[in-house]
Amino acid sequence: MTDSALPTFIAESRELLREMEAALLECEQGETGAEAVNSIFRAAHTIKGSSGLFGLDGIVAFTHVVESVLDRVRANTLQMDRALAAILLECRDHIEHLVNAVADGKSDDVQLATRGESLLQKLSARAGGPAAAHTTASTTPVAPAAGHALWRIHVQFHAEVLRNGMDPLSFIRYLGTLGDIVALKLLTERLPGAEEFDAEACYLGFEIELASSESQQRIEAAFEFVRDDCTLQVRQKGTAASEVVADRREADTKESKASKSSDSRSLRVDGDKLDKLIDLIGELVTAGATTTITARKAGLSELNESTLRLARLVEEVRDQALKLRMVQIGPTFSRFQRIVRDVAREIGKEIRLETGGAETELDKTLIESITDPLTHLVRNAIDHGIETAEVRRSRGKNVEGVVRLDAYHDSGSVVIEVADDGGGLKRERIIAKAIERGLITDGSSLTDSEAFALIFEPGFSTAEQVTNLSGRGVGMDVVKRNVNALRGTVELDSKEGEGTTVRIRLPLTLAIIDGFLVGVGNSSFVIPLELVEECVELGDEHRSADGDQRYINLRGAVLPFVRLREMFSLRSSASRRESIVVIRCAGQRIGIVVDDLLGEMQAVIKPLSRLFSRIRGIGGSTILGTGQLALILDVTSLLDLCLNTRQTQAAPRRALMD
Amino acid sequence: MDLDQKLSIGELRVDGDMTIYRANEVAQTLLASVRTHAGDVNLDLSEVTEFDTAGLQLVLMARRMVEANGHRLDVVRPSECVAEVLDLCNVALTTDPTQAAA
């Protein structure tokens, strides 16, 4: 095994450790399912196996002890409970430290070794010494209890099973926990002659009669870890004449093949390669648009047809490529289980984390960038949101507080919610603090959501008691800044006494958007297509020369609008026919007045250079098929901007100044 | 080397782990001793500290070799972990079951 495989080992181990953590936390909460125990065992086992390949004896030795304890949990000779889960969690952390040490290239850390020793002592104090591993379930032949079906299991282990680090005996022991082993016969026919005998190869098989009320699936699942390393046959022996024969051998090999191919169906790809691919596809989209325009000019119908087909294919390729970067948010959510547990313990609150929408997918870079703000929000919820147990009790709430993480797709964006059932925000206190800090002068005219939005202003904190976790007054504005940097928005709902929900809204991807192209004078702008609701003509009656009127009556509803010409101080006279693009964003509707409607297009987002990073109202730029530049409107900040400047005398240059 | 030969005539003893990790090493010594030995063998496993499938196979292999010569092999004084495996796998290799888990 070469060192070049080491990074893969480290990445895989970390992944397994994350799974292990999630499962352990589940156990610690008292929901010890066989699934969870199996996944913990699998993680420990795999890490041990791979470390062995790299000769990382420190990890092998430590993990071996952990694994054998887990083996006993699987065999039901040891009860998984909170205390054991907590110790195992510490052991997991230690394995992580060991792996990190390997990653840092200093695997022989003495301090780590000492810590490992004391952990193992703790573990064996709780679980009994490793020698006790052999006092397993009794296998005395017992008559099958009533209601139990009798199963005949024929299993022949393949030669490689021992070298793969599996001990067939442990599966037989595990089987004993699923029912009563009525009869067992060791199959030794495959033992070869002395000359061919290989001590590391497995030649044994078993024929077992098991009285169990478990389903066939559960019994077969006992051999899950050696699926590929054994030939398994499970049949039910009926009591009456109706002997159900379900020879599963065929199906089983198929199944194992399927599981094998599903394994190889996912592969690890360097993130840079993906980025390069997305970049290229961006270029492809642009080049495709150029071709379409040229073809249209040329007026050859055949050429037009083929470019259209090409455009459709490019679009599909683009979607597929973007999907490659999509990752489920679940693993990120489950990481918070640990944070919640540790922080809650530290400050002495009882808090449970619930998650929803784990299968929601979003761009990998988004997930990475959103983890920090999320951490902050979760900590905030634990620290400031959830009340202490006494307060909760006196308010008649469940003593255990709940923090909830949710993710879902909503009209072209991803929404991530952090909710708690804590004390909620106190409007008066926020306003008082904001006045004290000089953020506002008078709070009476603010709506609730405007008042709550104040906590995202720099230099604001409502916590009366500052803890070392959060609440130094630097938090929420950083969250907002980070989210805004991802072209996202943050909003907050709160009800005093009932809880707070922070909602982060993010674009699906950072790279390419479907856009709606509009023109003002000689300039082109792109509006994200998913926000566009409809386009209507701006009637003459609304075109007052001074531009005073800032709303129209759209089928009986008031629709405020902005003129892009004014927002960006474009020096050209309004065209004879203007249109309003009606957009809906974050629950509000607004009209954008433009000269020309130029149709849908795919926009490859080119970020603005840092020089322009402070400009609000513009999210980026894109190159049109004609080679012209178009600015992509950042509708959310545009909305903010025009709603805030609405009352004041219109300050056209404001958008570019800020 | 934990394998002591000829404690008494026909008596072999394996100490320490009889697992996959030492399978080759134990196999070499044990099977070589069995091969050169003519007559019944008592295999003393009282000092075996760990015993897995590989260990079990070794014992079975040794027994088969002895039996091929028309003699018999008995496991005597199995240690706790050996007895557990023999019991689990339903193999009778011991002459006196009361000695099990002694």
Instruction: Please write the tens of the pLDDT for every residue from A152-171.
Output: 888 888 888 888 888 888 88
Say yes or no for a CB contact (<8 Å) between A199 and B58: yes
Higher-confidence residue of A314 and A107: namely A314
Interface ipTM above 0.85? no
- Asked if pLDDT for residue A238 goes beyond 60, the answer is no
Q: Is the pLDDT of residue A609 over 50?
A: yes
CATH number at residue A592: 2.30.30.40
Contact assessment for residue A427 and residue A522, using Cβ atoms and an 8 Å cutoff: no
DSSP string, A398-422: -SSEEEEEEEEEETTEEEEEEEE-S
The answer to whether position A141 is within a domain reads no
Interface test with A, best of B67, B73, B88, B93 (most A CBs within 10 A): B88
Nearest-CA distance A210 → chain B (Å)? 13
Q: What is the pLDDT of residue A503?
A: 92
In a shared domain, residues A366 and A413: yes
Picking from A139, A167, A191, the nearest residue to B64 by CB comes out as A191
Q: Which of A230-244, A612-626, B79-93 is most confident?
A: B79-93
pLDDT at A139 over 70: no
- Which of helix, strand or coil describes residue A196? coil
Closest alpha carbon within chain B to A136: B84
Q: Do B57 and A202 touch (CB under 8 A)?
A: yes
Under an 8 A CB cutoff, do B35 and A194 touch? yes
A199-236 residue pLDDT tens: 888 988 888 888 888 788 888 888 877 878 888 888 87
A195 to chain B, any CB pair closer than 8 A? The answer is no
In a domain, A179, yes or no: yes
Of A134, A167, A200, which closes a domain? A134
- Same structural domain for residues A99 and A67? yes
Assess whether A486 and A540 both reside in one domain.
no
Residue among A172, A176, A204 minimizing CB distance to B57: A204
Partners of residue B88 in chain A, C-beta under 8 Å: 136, 139, 169, 172-173, 176, 184
Contacts of A168 in chain B (CB under 8 A): 53
Question: pLDDT exceeding 70 applies to what percent of chain A?
Answer: 82
**Interface residue of A162, A180, A185, A210 to substitute, partner B, most B CBs within 10 Å:** A162
Residue A481 · residue A393 · CB < 8 Å: no
In this structure, is residue A157 part of a structural domain? yes
Whether A177 has its CB under 8 Å from any CB of chain B: the answer is no
A139, A164, A167: which to substitute to probe chain B, counting the most B Cβ within 10 Å? Answer: A167
| Domain boundary residue, one of A105, A134, A163 | A134
Q: Which residues from chain B sit within 8 angstroms of residue A164, using beta carbons?
A: none
User: Given CB atoms, is A162 within the 8 Å cutoff of chain B?
Assistant: yes
- Indicate whether A450 and A474 sit together in one domain: yes
Measured distance CA(B30)–CA(B58) in Å, rounded: 8
> What is the spatial distance between Cα A482 and Cα A592, in angstroms, rounded to a whole number?
27
> Does residue A140 lie within any of the structural domains?
no
Q: Is A206 part of the contact surface with chain B (CB cutoff 8 Å)?
A: yes
Query: Which is nearest to A268 in space by CA: A1, A14, A3?
Result: A14
B102: its two tokens: 């002694």
The amino acid sitting at A58 is G
Query: Which amino acid is located at A369 in the chain?
Result: S
Measure the CA–CA gap between A382 and A402, rounded to whole angstroms.
9
Residues of A within 8 A of B51 (CB-CB) are 134
In a domain, A457, yes or no: yes
Same domain, A352 and A452: yes
Which residue from B minimizes the CA distance to A187?
Answer: B89
Task: Output the average pLDDT for chain A.
Answer: 77
**Whether A502 and A356 share a structural domain:** yes
> Is residue A479 located within the same domain as residue A532?
no
Inter-chain residue contact B54 with A200, CB threshold 8 Å: yes
Q: Which helix (H) or strand (E) holds A339?
A: helix A330-346
DSSP 3-state assignment of A630? strand
One domain, residues A536 and A500: no
Report which of A284, A356, A273 is spatially closest to residue A318, judged by C-alpha positions.
A284
Pairwise CB contact (< 8 Å): A134 & B81: yes
CB contact under 8 A, B20 and A136: no
Note whether A561 contacts B: Cβ–Cβ < 8 A: no
Q: Are residues A235 and A372 in the same domain?
A: no
Q: Which of A134, A168, A199 lies closest to B24 in CB terms?
A: A199
Closest B-chain CA to A202: B54
Q: What is the DSSP string of chain B?
A: ---B--SSTTEEE--EEESGGGHHHHHHHHHHHHHH--S-EEEE-TTEEEE-HHHHHHHHHHHHHHHHTT--EEEES--HHHHHHHHHTT---BS-GGGTT-
Reduce the DSSP state of residue B17 to 3 states and report it: strand
A378 and A474 part of one domain: yes
Give the closest-approach CA distance of B37 to chain A in angstroms.
15
Range of the domain at A205: 149-265
Q: Decide if A169 and B89 are in contact by the 8 Å CB cutoff.
A: yes
Q: What are the angstrom distances between the C-alpha of A647 and each of A6, A550, A650, B3? A: 62, 10, 8, 95
Q: Mutate one of B57, B64, B80 to test the A interface: name it (highest A CB count within 10 A).
A: B57
The token duo for A303 is 């050429």
B56 part of contact set with chain A, CB < 8 Å: yes
With CA atoms as reference, the chain A residue closest to B89 would be A186
A190 contact B CB<8A: no
Tell me, yes or no, whether A385 and A304 share the same domain: no
Dihedrals φ, ψ of B57, to 5°?
Answer: -60, -40
For residue A460, what are the CA distances in angstroms to A329, A439, A463, A485?
30, 9, 9, 20
Question: Does B26 reach chain A within 8 Å, measured CB to CB?
Answer: yes
Q: Are residues A63 and A198 in the same domain?
A: no
Which pLDDT score is estimated for B72? 84
CB pair distance less than 8 Å for A167 and B91: no
C-beta atoms of A200 and B23 within 8 A: yes
B31–A contact, CB cutoff 8 A: yes
Contacts of A139 in chain B (CB under 8 A): 87-88, 90
Residue type, A389: A
Q: Which residues pair with A584 in a beta bridge?
A: A589
The answer as to whether A550 is a domain residue is yes
Specify the pLDDT at position B65: 87
Closest-approach residue (CA) in chain A for B101: A135
Q: Is B20 an interface residue toward A (CB < 8 Å)?
A: yes
Task: Work out how many domains chain A is built from and give that number.
Answer: 5
Domain boundary among A457, A482, A507: A507
Chain-chain contact of A202 with B53 (C-beta, under 8 angstroms):
yes
Residue A651 banded pLDDT, cuts 50, 70, 90: very low
Q: Which helix (H) or strand (E) holds A126?
A: helix A110-127
Q: pLDDT tens for chain B, 102 residues: list them.
A: 445 444 445 788 888 889 888 888 888 888 888 888 778 888 888 889 889 899 999 999 888 888 888 888 888 888 888 888 888 888 877 655 444 443
CA closest to A186 among chain B residues: B89
Measured between alpha carbons, how far is A589 from A634 in angstroms, rounded to an integer? Answer: 15
Q: Inter-chain contact B23–A162, Cβ cutoff 8 Å?
A: yes
Unique residue bearing structure tokens 């499970």:
A234
Contact B57 A199 (CB under 8 A): yes
Which tokens belong to A389? 């147990």
Q: How confident is the model at residue A299 (pLDDT cuts 50, 70, 90)?
A: confident
Per residue in A82-130, pLDDT (tens digit) is 888 888 888 998 898 888 888 887 766 777 888 888 888 888 887 764 4
For A532-553, give one letter per residue: b (16+ CB within 10 A) or e.
Answer: beeeeebeeebeeeeeeebebe
With respect to residue A144, please indicate whether it lies within any of the assigned structural domains: no
What's the pLDDT tens digit per position in A378-393?
888 888 888 888 888 8
A532-551 pLDDT per residue, tens: 889 988 876 665 545 556 77
Q: Which CATH number fits domain B11-99: 3.30.70.380, 3.30.1480.10, 3.30.750.24, 3.90.1520.10?
A: 3.30.750.24
CB pairs under 8 A between A and B: 75
